[in-house]
Amino acid sequence: MAVVPAPRPSTGAVLLLFVSAAWGSAFPLMDDLIDRLPFQDLLAERYLIAALTLFLIRPSSLRGLSRSTWIQGALLGLMFGVGQNAQAWGLHGLSSSVSGFAVGCNVIFTPLLGMILFKVQVSRRIWLAVALALAGLTSFTLIGAESGKLYPVALGATIAAAILYAAHTLVLGRMSVKKRQGFNAYAVSVIQLAVIGLLSGALALPDGIQTPDRPGDWLILAHLSVVSCALGFLARSYGQRHVPAVPAAILMSSQPLWVAAISVLWFGEHVDGPLLLGGGLTAAAMVLAISAKQEPPRPPGYRRPIGPQPPPSQGKGLDPNLLASALRARAVLAELRRRREDPIRLGEPEPAHSHTLVACANVEGCPWQVLNCVSGQEPSLDRLIARASSVVRAQHPDTPDCCRSVTLVGRCLCQVSRQAQANRSLSFVWPPTS
């Protein structure tokens, strides 16, 4: 049986913060490049180059993949690709600030969808982190922003994109913990990048695909493709193995913080009050998300174990997934043992005996000590003999005395076997010797 590695929240948090920084660095660069290159063409080129880059690094990553891996990558790619193109279409009817706020609302959609679809338990600490992240996003995007165009259809498309991003985070989180089912993070990243690129390219193809015509634009496109897409998606696939979906969404919602930092450091933008307020709220949300004690991601179908739990010292150093499975198995077996009916019961009343249990001299050494009670719920040798006698009599109705039932009167089978050995009347030895 394969062993699922224990989650490492610190590693996952570092990877997801890298994703947020990589995606955040893309916004000011895209804002500069989009003036010279159509947005739809830019999406197709950056995702196809990202998929090609990962494939060239590991050409064997797509060989011998299972059908489920292809389905996982295609599903994730369709969800994110549709969201990207819906967001791009919504920009025609929204200002950049409103579009950024609507897309960032996926941080609140993620826990809501998780509770509705997957019964995800969200602690109060995480809800507080979600509220702080949303407040920080509001400060970054809406406070002090100039009023611009606002079309309801465009806003609806952008909100739909945010919902798809939230669903993508939840589905990726559930898939990434299914190591026993063969989740391949690298191959899935390549497949979903290729699907996003092909989808965007199909939408951009009617007007023709335009490529950059300046070396500087190619360098920007290389950064957007390799760092933001290829490494970003790869780090996200591995990072969500160690961090649950809702805290992961909070960590990745810090993109405006990285955008603001890049704008101030590289483009010399002025630091104002909303920028400081949004940065502080976002940083507080990240601290809460990282420091919150989260249960490790659970595979689909997992149910919390019932029954008594072991002391914390007994579970120290053990894999939490294996420990939870062992506790669940113990509880199920105990429940089955409690409710079990005697499979040998014929519906006939058992003969009454003056004594039904004879103690062995060596109680702990006799494996049948708990099985020799005639009136108990476990099968006994008396029942077996009575069952066999009734079967033989039923097959020979003309000879009623053909088989007489032998009653051991609840004698311990260890004593019976020892007496049989002494009399040499039986050929078996119990307990068996090796």
Domain count along the chain:
2
193 and 283 co-located in one domain: yes
Residue that finishes a domain, picked among 268, 291, 314: 291
- Average confidence (pLDDT) over 187-195: 96
Domain-embedded: residue 237? yes
356 and 287 co-located in one domain: no
Residue 259, classified by CB atoms within 10 Å of its CB into exposed (0-12), middle (13-18) or buried (19+), is buried
277 and 419 co-located in one domain: no
119 and 33 co-located in one domain: yes
The domain containing residue 112 runs over which residues?
Answer: 9-291
Residue 5 pLDDT level (bands cut at 50, 70, 90): low
Question: What's the DSSP call for residue 292?
Answer: S
Domain-embedded: residue 346? no
- Average confidence (pLDDT) over 68-96: 91
47 and 156 co-located in one domain: yes
Q: How far is CA 248 from CA 45, 130, 235, 296, 347, in A?
A: 27, 11, 12, 13, 59
pLDDT for res 434? 42
Residue that finishes a domain, picked among 291, 307, 322: 291
Given a contact cutoff of 8 angstroms between Cβ atoms, the answer to whether 80 and 164 are in contact is: yes
- Average confidence (pLDDT) over 408-412: 53
pLDDT score of 188 more than 90: yes
pLDDT for res 252? 92
pLDDT score of 364 more than 70: no
pLDDT score of 18 more than 50: yes
Long-range contacts of 219-225 (CB under 8 A, 24+ apart): 220/29, 220/32, 220/33, 221/33, 221/42, 221/45, 221/46, 221/49, 222/49, 223/25, 223/26, 223/29, 224/26, 224/29, 224/30, 224/33, 224/42, 224/46, 225/45, 225/46, 225/47, 225/49, 225/50, 225/53
- Average confidence (pLDDT) over 238-265: 87
Domain-embedded: residue 305? no
Least-confidence region, from 154-168, 169-183, 188-202, 248-262: 169-183
pLDDT for res 168? 96
269 and 372 co-located in one domain: no
269 and 380 co-located in one domain: no
Domain-embedded: residue 208? yes
155 and 61 co-located in one domain: yes
- pLDDT, one tens digit per residue, over 119-165 is 888 899 999 999 999 999 998 888 766 666 778 899 999 999 999 99
Domain-embedded: residue 316? no
55 and 168 co-located in one domain: yes
48 and 126 co-located in one domain: yes
Q: Which residues contact 339 (CB under 8 A, 6 or more apart)?
A: none
Domain-embedded: residue 65? yes
Domain-embedded: residue 215? yes
Domain-embedded: residue 301? no
The chain-wide mean pLDDT, for the chain, equals 77
